[in-house]
A and B are shown apart, each in its own frame.
Chain A
């Protein structure tokens, strides 16, 4: 009899292990995919460079080959080198995953440092390391193209042909614009939501009479938490975008309207977190302050709020995490066009919307999306640790 029971118990226990294993598997697969696809491209240059490549057509000023540009001894074997032009090329893949020919070495005396723009001969342009060469055409030789690879381009250059025109572009695929947009959104949103949220929490927790009106206020604010973020997007385009246009701040979807929408999304979170922090402060603190002759304003400002700072910090961390992760609402209010020059009166994309924008393009750019996702995950992880630390601090402070 017990044997059967033990078996059934073991089976039931096994199921709970299986459940936990499934949850672990879900997290594992997310982390593995993001790391495997994103880690390789994750570097500082990605964070500081433009998304849209800039294209140039340049022509050399003088047509003689370089005589001092010999292959340096310390040059890596992977780099193919054309001594006549002092140019080192490699086959690489750009951030979109396409095969490209990239400049990996330039001799200081290389004649390709001094080119002029084909369309405007007075404008100098220059090839630098990391530039992507898309085409070199010659006056007396067939054109070298990207798809034939770096080796073919080098042998064309070495054939002694005279360069007519070099087409090249910057690398592109960077996320500087989206990163700046996200940072601006965080700044603007916090500047609006923190005062609003803290003031509301103080009113509800410290000053509000216990009556119908207060409980209605509470439930109206609480209802906001159940609203899906895509509906906030509709609120943004039907209220905040027209409002900012009316105030002559913008002419369409913008960072300002985006921050306003995020403010509404975050209000319930900030209010609830702040209220919870206020509730943990012992009543004795307030009574002591009032007994010493301070009025309510002084008590709240000088006794209650300073003690609630760890809780308010928790709210800030939660808010930042939500802003970074928000996508559906911002697609409506911020637009989906990736920008390199960010202005708060104009549309742009945050990091999360940047991912959405690339994933809905044909073909989807999974590699750069994963790199951005990795950045988002790292920040979210740091914020999580921040929340834990502040909660710990709050507990220690109030015992």
Chain B
């Protein structure tokens, strides 16, 4: 150190030190910036929870410009949307909407689940290579079609069919707008989700299980149905849960074929119906007042229904997943 004055260091060396320090600062700055952006990205879900919930609660805790408070119990169990003699009312009953929503999603799953799983098995195990590839492309295409197009096709194709079917069976239908139409459109939309997830689950089944089954004398088809499907059931169930979550939240396609029923529950296949989401899209012309704010309450209700259904289905999945066939 004492000789530093005699032999000065090359002028470049301090620069390197400085630049390495600069680069450390640069790293810290960039890291801080990226962390801030990541925090922003993660904050949106909290924004949704806070803002939608607060506005959804307003109709229940304020007197809504002298119209009166909306009764929470009445809202959750009511069988008539806006009952009472006049339009100046806060008698919003969404109980039948909850029943309708769960009902149409359940019925649609009765169609899409078997069709989806069978298609997945077909693609993964049974079809010849070329056919399997073609089928996978078809499922991918179905998955990429936007929901509004499903709604349009359902309104253009299925409504007239359902209308004439109802007439042939001696009942009435409001131009085909019915539970049946909603079930078909939801089944079509859930199909690619169930198929894609089930296919992955079926493919990831341990080959040794299959070989063991075959060695015990089971035919390939018996193996596919009794061993592969049973082993993949957890994954298949996960696909169904995903599909149910999406079907519960589907809005525009459903609103085009539901028929906006104002009271319920609507359990008849050819009767008009209404779901939580289709009611949220009703009368988008008004932009203020309780008739507008009540959409937020329906939004909170929708989130609650989705969360509870998801939780229950996952609970069942864990129970079922433990049982070995």
Number of interface residues of B (CB under 8 A): 85
A74 to chain B minimum Cβ distance, whole angstroms, is 39
Indicate if the CB atoms of B141 and A373 lie closer than 8 Å: no
Decide yes or no: A370 and B221 within 8 Å by CB, A217-B38, A331-B281 being known contacts: no
Q: Is A307 an interface residue (CB 8 A)?
A: no
Q: Is A155 an interface residue (CB 8 A)?
A: no
Interface set, chain A 365-399, CB cutoff 8 A to B: 366, 369-370, 373, 376-377, 380-381, 383-384
Cβ 8 A contact of A355, one of B40, B148, B245: B148
Of the candidates B24, B115, B148, B219, the one having the most CB atoms from chain A within 10 angstroms of its own CB is: B148
Indicate if the CB atoms of B122 and A238 lie closer than 8 Å: no
Indicate if the CB atoms of B156 and A13 lie closer than 8 Å: no
Give complex CA distance A218, B126 in Å: 38
Interface set, chain B 145-203, CB cutoff 8 A to A: 145-153, 155-157, 188, 191-192, 195
Give complex CA distance A26, B189 in Å: 10
Give complex CA distance A34, B157 in Å: 10
Cβ 8 A contact of B152, one of A271, A332, A370: A370
Instruction: Tell me the dominant secondary structure on chain A's binding face.
Output: helix
Q: Is B27 an interface residue (CB 8 A)?
A: yes
Contacts of A19 in B (CB 8 A): 114-119, 121-122
B102 to chain A minimum Cβ distance, whole angstroms, is 15
Indicate if the CB atoms of A238 and B144 lie closer than 8 Å: no
Q: From B127, which residue of chain A is reached at the shortest CB distance?
A: A20
Indicate if the CB atoms of B219 and A352 lie closer than 8 Å: no
Question: What number of A-B contacts does a CB cutoff of 8 Å give?
Answer: 241
Q: Is A55 an interface residue (CB 8 A)?
A: no
Indicate if the CB atoms of B148 and A352 lie closer than 8 Å: yes
Q: Is A24 an interface residue (CB 8 A)?
A: yes
Decide yes or no: A326 and B146 within 8 Å by CB, A27-B138, A34-B153 being known contacts: yes
Using an 8 Å CB-CB cutoff, how does the interface string of A322-333 with B read, 1 for contact, 0 for none? 001111100110
Stretch of B5-13, B45-53, B232-240 lying at the A interface: B45-53
Give complex CA distance A231, B52 in Å: 8
Q: Is A224 an interface residue (CB 8 A)?
A: yes
Contacts of B45 in A (CB 8 A): 220-221, 223-224, 227
Q: Is B250 an interface residue (CB 8 A)?
A: yes
Q: Is B320 an interface residue (CB 8 A)?
A: no
Instruction: Tell me the dominant secondary structure on chain B's binding face.
Output: helix
A240 to chain B minimum Cβ distance, whole angstroms, is 10
Q: From A19, which residue of chain B is reached at the shortest CB distance?
A: B118
A78 to chain B minimum Cβ distance, whole angstroms, is 29
A4 to chain B minimum Cβ distance, whole angstroms, is 11
Contacts of A369 in B (CB 8 A): 152, 156
B174 to chain A minimum Cβ distance, whole angstroms, is 13
Give complex CA distance A5, B219 in Å: 8
Cβ 8 A contact of B299, one of A6, A15, A234: A234
Give complex CA distance A324, B144 in Å: 11
Number of interface residues of A (CB under 8 A): 82
Q: From B252, which residue of chain A is reached at the shortest CB distance?
A: A327
A233 to chain B minimum Cβ distance, whole angstroms, is 8
Indicate if the CB atoms of A327 and B299 lie closer than 8 Å: no
Decide yes or no: A208 and B119 within 8 Å by CB, A220-B45, A297-B23, A327-B148 being known contacts: no
Decide yes or no: A203 and B280 within 8 Å by CB, A224-B44, A234-B296, A327-B148 being known contacts: no
Cβ 8 A contact of B40, one of A15, A196, A230, A321: A196
Give complex CA distance A19, B138 in Å: 13
Give complex CA distance A144, B295 in Å: 50
B165 to chain A minimum Cβ distance, whole angstroms, is 16
Q: Is A45 an interface residue (CB 8 A)?
A: no
Q: From A322, which residue of chain B is reached at the shortest CB distance?
A: B146
Give complex CA distance A381, B195 in Å: 20
Q: From B48, which residue of chain A is reached at the shortest CB distance?
A: A235
Using an 8 Å CB-CB cutoff, how does the interface string of B44-69 with A read, 1 for contact, 0 for none? 11111001100100000000000000
13 interchain pairs (CB within 8 A)? Answer: A20-B122, A23-B119, A29-B157, A33-B157, A228-B249, A234-B52, A234-B296, A264-B44, A325-B148, A332-B284, A356-B148, A376-B146, A380-B145
- For the complex of A and B, the 8 pairs showing the least CB-CB separation, nearest first, are A228-B249, A325-B146, A19-B118, A9-B221, A203-B34, A16-B122, A328-B251, A220-B42
